[in-house]
Amino acid sequence: MTSLVGHSGSGKSTILNLIPRLYDIESGDISIDDQSIYNLKIESLRSKISLVSQDTTLFDDTIKNNIGYAKHNASDEDIINASKFSYSHEFIEKLPNKYETIIGENGIRLSGGQKQRLSIARAMIKKSPIILLDEATSSLDAETESKIQDALKILTKNKTTIVIAHRLSTVLNSDQIYIIDSGNVAANGKHDELLNNSELYKNFYEKQIRKE
Protein backbone atom coordinates (compact mmCIF):
# COMPACT_ATOMS: atom_id res chain seq x y z
CA MET A 1 0.00 0.00 0.00
CA THR A 2 1.42 3.31 -1.16
CA SER A 3 -0.14 6.65 -0.24
CA LEU A 4 0.13 10.05 -1.90
CA VAL A 5 -0.24 13.05 0.42
CA GLY A 6 -0.19 16.75 -0.48
CA HIS A 7 -2.17 19.95 -0.81
CA SER A 8 -5.03 20.23 -3.32
CA GLY A 9 -3.63 20.83 -6.79
CA SER A 10 -0.23 19.33 -5.97
CA GLY A 11 -0.57 16.63 -8.66
CA LYS A 12 -1.75 13.57 -6.71
CA SER A 13 -4.74 12.73 -8.92
CA THR A 14 -2.71 13.36 -12.07
CA ILE A 15 -0.17 10.75 -10.92
CA LEU A 16 -2.96 8.28 -10.18
CA ASN A 17 -4.61 8.86 -13.56
CA LEU A 18 -1.36 8.16 -15.40
CA ILE A 19 -1.43 4.51 -14.24
CA PRO A 20 -4.56 3.41 -16.18
CA ARG A 21 -3.46 5.79 -18.98
CA LEU A 22 -6.28 8.29 -18.59
CA TYR A 23 -3.40 10.65 -19.47
CA ASP A 24 -0.18 9.73 -21.25
CA ILE A 25 3.25 10.87 -20.11
CA GLU A 26 5.46 13.12 -22.25
CA SER A 27 8.74 11.65 -20.99
CA GLY A 28 9.99 8.82 -18.77
CA ASP A 29 8.14 5.56 -18.29
CA ILE A 30 5.69 3.78 -15.97
CA SER A 31 6.18 0.06 -15.43
CA ILE A 32 4.32 -2.71 -13.63
CA ASP A 33 6.48 -5.73 -12.74
CA ASP A 34 9.26 -4.26 -14.92
CA GLN A 35 6.97 -4.09 -17.96
CA SER A 36 6.19 -0.71 -19.47
CA ILE A 37 2.46 0.05 -19.49
CA TYR A 38 3.04 1.55 -22.95
CA ASN A 39 3.82 -1.93 -24.32
CA LEU A 40 0.38 -3.18 -23.27
CA LYS A 41 -2.99 -2.71 -24.92
CA ILE A 42 -5.04 -0.20 -22.92
CA GLU A 43 -7.85 -2.75 -22.55
CA SER A 44 -5.43 -5.31 -21.07
CA LEU A 45 -3.92 -2.73 -18.70
CA ARG A 46 -7.27 -1.46 -17.44
CA SER A 47 -8.60 -4.99 -16.92
CA LYS A 48 -6.05 -5.33 -14.10
CA ILE A 49 -6.94 -2.02 -12.39
CA SER A 50 -9.92 -0.82 -10.34
CA LEU A 51 -10.36 2.88 -9.62
CA VAL A 52 -12.55 4.05 -6.74
CA SER A 53 -12.76 7.83 -6.73
CA GLN A 54 -14.78 10.61 -5.15
CA ASP A 55 -16.62 10.98 -8.50
CA THR A 56 -18.40 7.67 -9.01
CA THR A 57 -19.69 7.09 -12.55
CA LEU A 58 -23.04 5.29 -12.49
CA PHE A 59 -25.51 4.61 -15.29
CA ASP A 60 -29.25 5.22 -15.53
CA ASP A 61 -29.91 1.53 -15.08
CA THR A 62 -30.61 -0.99 -12.32
CA ILE A 63 -28.37 -1.37 -9.28
CA LYS A 64 -27.73 -4.95 -10.36
CA ASN A 65 -26.44 -3.87 -13.78
CA ASN A 66 -24.38 -1.03 -12.30
CA ILE A 67 -22.50 -3.43 -10.04
CA GLY A 68 -22.26 -6.23 -12.62
CA TYR A 69 -20.86 -3.82 -15.23
CA ALA A 70 -17.34 -4.52 -13.91
CA LYS A 71 -17.43 -8.23 -14.75
CA HIS A 72 -18.78 -9.84 -17.89
CA ASN A 73 -21.30 -12.57 -17.02
CA ALA A 74 -21.37 -11.70 -13.28
CA SER A 75 -23.86 -13.98 -11.54
CA ASP A 76 -26.55 -12.78 -9.13
CA GLU A 77 -24.55 -14.46 -6.36
CA ASP A 78 -21.39 -12.50 -7.35
CA ILE A 79 -23.35 -9.25 -7.25
CA ILE A 80 -25.00 -9.96 -3.87
CA ASN A 81 -21.69 -11.06 -2.29
CA ALA A 82 -19.93 -7.89 -3.51
CA SER A 83 -22.85 -5.84 -2.14
CA LYS A 84 -22.59 -7.47 1.26
CA PHE A 85 -18.83 -6.94 1.50
CA SER A 86 -19.20 -3.29 0.43
CA TYR A 87 -22.00 -2.64 2.97
CA SER A 88 -24.43 -1.94 0.09
CA HIS A 89 -26.80 -4.89 0.53
CA GLU A 90 -28.59 -3.40 3.53
CA PHE A 91 -29.63 -0.16 1.77
CA ILE A 92 -30.38 -1.96 -1.53
CA GLU A 93 -32.85 -4.27 0.26
CA LYS A 94 -34.77 -1.20 1.48
CA LEU A 95 -35.22 0.24 -2.04
CA PRO A 96 -38.61 -0.18 -3.80
CA ASN A 97 -37.37 -2.76 -6.32
CA LYS A 98 -34.21 -3.81 -4.47
CA TYR A 99 -31.53 -4.86 -7.00
CA GLU A 100 -33.83 -4.01 -9.92
CA THR A 101 -34.21 -0.37 -8.77
CA ILE A 102 -33.35 2.15 -11.51
CA ILE A 103 -31.00 4.70 -9.94
CA GLY A 104 -31.17 7.57 -12.47
CA GLU A 105 -28.44 9.37 -14.38
CA ASN A 106 -25.20 9.14 -12.37
CA GLY A 107 -27.14 7.63 -9.46
CA ILE A 108 -29.11 10.81 -8.80
CA ARG A 109 -31.56 8.90 -6.58
CA LEU A 110 -28.78 7.75 -4.24
CA SER A 111 -26.78 9.51 -1.52
CA GLY A 112 -23.03 10.13 -1.87
CA GLY A 113 -22.24 7.28 0.54
CA GLN A 114 -24.50 4.85 -1.30
CA LYS A 115 -22.83 5.68 -4.62
CA GLN A 116 -19.38 5.17 -3.08
CA ARG A 117 -20.41 1.76 -1.76
CA LEU A 118 -21.69 0.70 -5.20
CA SER A 119 -18.36 1.81 -6.67
CA ILE A 120 -16.54 -0.39 -4.13
CA ALA A 121 -18.90 -3.32 -4.89
CA ARG A 122 -18.06 -2.90 -8.56
CA ALA A 123 -14.32 -2.97 -7.78
CA MET A 124 -14.80 -6.06 -5.58
CA ILE A 125 -16.58 -7.97 -8.32
CA LYS A 126 -13.80 -7.15 -10.78
CA LYS A 127 -11.12 -8.69 -8.48
CA SER A 128 -8.30 -6.76 -10.12
CA PRO A 129 -4.79 -6.99 -8.62
CA ILE A 130 -4.27 -3.20 -8.60
CA ILE A 131 -6.58 -0.83 -6.68
CA LEU A 132 -6.44 2.96 -7.05
CA LEU A 133 -8.30 4.96 -4.39
CA ASP A 134 -8.74 8.69 -5.04
CA GLU A 135 -10.16 10.31 -1.90
CA ALA A 136 -12.76 7.56 -1.77
CA THR A 137 -14.16 8.70 1.58
CA SER A 138 -14.27 12.46 1.04
CA SER A 139 -17.43 14.41 1.90
CA LEU A 140 -19.06 11.62 3.89
CA ASP A 141 -20.54 11.62 7.36
CA ALA A 142 -18.60 9.75 10.07
CA GLU A 143 -20.85 6.66 10.17
CA THR A 144 -20.80 6.20 6.38
CA GLU A 145 -17.06 6.82 6.25
CA SER A 146 -16.49 4.16 8.87
CA LYS A 147 -18.47 1.61 6.81
CA ILE A 148 -16.60 2.53 3.64
CA GLN A 149 -13.24 2.28 5.42
CA ASP A 150 -14.19 -1.25 6.49
CA ALA A 151 -15.22 -2.12 2.92
CA LEU A 152 -11.94 -0.71 1.56
CA LYS A 153 -9.94 -2.90 3.96
CA ILE A 154 -11.64 -5.96 2.44
CA LEU A 155 -11.20 -4.66 -1.12
CA THR A 156 -7.48 -3.90 -0.77
CA LYS A 157 -6.40 -7.01 1.17
CA ASN A 158 -3.40 -8.60 -0.61
CA LYS A 159 -3.72 -6.13 -3.50
CA THR A 160 -1.30 -3.52 -4.81
CA THR A 161 -3.01 -0.34 -3.61
CA ILE A 162 -2.27 3.32 -4.29
CA VAL A 163 -4.22 5.74 -2.12
CA ILE A 164 -4.88 9.47 -2.19
CA ALA A 165 -6.46 10.44 1.11
CA HIS A 166 -7.53 13.79 2.48
CA ARG A 167 -7.34 12.41 6.02
CA LEU A 168 -3.91 11.28 7.18
CA SER A 169 -5.47 8.79 9.60
CA THR A 170 -6.23 6.57 6.59
CA VAL A 171 -2.60 6.42 5.38
CA LEU A 172 -0.66 5.94 8.63
CA ASN A 173 -0.12 2.20 8.05
CA SER A 174 1.03 2.52 4.44
CA ASP A 175 4.19 0.68 3.37
CA GLN A 176 5.31 3.88 1.68
CA ILE A 177 4.03 7.48 1.78
CA TYR A 178 4.99 10.04 -0.86
CA ILE A 179 4.62 13.76 -0.18
CA ILE A 180 3.66 15.45 -3.45
CA ASP A 181 4.37 19.18 -3.68
CA SER A 182 3.82 21.15 -6.92
CA GLY A 183 4.11 18.03 -9.07
CA ASN A 184 7.30 16.77 -7.40
CA VAL A 185 8.05 14.18 -4.73
CA ALA A 186 9.17 16.30 -1.77
CA ALA A 187 9.79 13.32 0.54
CA ASN A 188 8.93 9.68 0.96
CA GLY A 189 9.10 7.03 3.64
CA LYS A 190 6.98 5.45 6.35
CA HIS A 191 4.90 7.56 8.72
CA ASP A 192 7.43 7.66 11.58
CA GLU A 193 10.35 8.48 9.25
CA LEU A 194 8.45 11.33 7.63
CA LEU A 195 7.43 12.80 10.98
CA ASN A 196 11.14 13.15 11.76
CA ASN A 197 12.43 14.08 8.29
CA SER A 198 9.74 16.10 6.51
CA GLU A 199 8.55 19.47 7.77
CA LEU A 200 5.72 19.38 5.20
CA TYR A 201 4.45 16.02 6.48
CA LYS A 202 4.84 17.05 10.09
CA ASN A 203 2.68 20.13 9.40
CA PHE A 204 -0.01 17.99 7.74
CA TYR A 205 0.04 15.61 10.68
CA GLU A 206 -0.10 18.25 13.38
CA LYS A 207 -2.95 20.14 11.72
CA GLN A 208 -5.09 17.05 11.26
CA ILE A 209 -4.38 14.44 13.91
CA ARG A 210 -4.10 16.78 16.87
CA LYS A 211 -7.52 18.22 15.98
CA GLU A 212 -9.19 14.82 16.01
Distance from the Cα of residue 130 to its chain's centroid: 10
Q: Whole-model pTM? A: 0.84
Which CATH number belongs to the domain containing residue 185 in this structure? 3.40.50.300
Q: What is the pLDDT of residue 110?
A: 80
Work out the pLDDT band at 195, boundaries 50, 70, 90.
Answer: confident
Least confident of 23-32, 123-132, 159-168, 187-196: 159-168
- Number of CB atoms found within 10 A of residue 208's CB: 13
Angle between helices 142-156 and 76-85 (to 10 degrees): 120
105-114 long-range CB contacts below 8 Å, 24 or more apart? 105/60, 106/56, 106/57, 106/58, 106/60, 107/56, 107/58, 107/66, 110/58, 111/144, 112/139, 112/140, 112/144, 113/140, 113/141, 113/144, 113/145, 113/147, 113/148, 114/88
Residue 20 belongs to domain spanning: 2-209
User: pLDDT tens digits for 142-177?
Assistant: 777 777 778 888 888 889 999 887 667 677 778 899
Q: How many domains does the chain have?
A: 1
pLDDT over 90 at 30, yes or no? yes
Residue 143 near residue 79 (C-beta atoms within 8 A)? no
User: pLDDT tens digits for 51-105?
Assistant: 887 777 788 888 998 888 878 788 888 899 889 888 889 889 988 889 998 887 7
- Number of CB atoms found within 10 A of residue 94's CB: 8
SS3 letters across 28-59: CCCEECCEEHHHCCHHHHHHCEEEEECCCCCC
SS3 letters across 78-120: HHHHHHHHCCCHHHHHCCCCHHHCECCHHHCCCCHHHHHHHHH
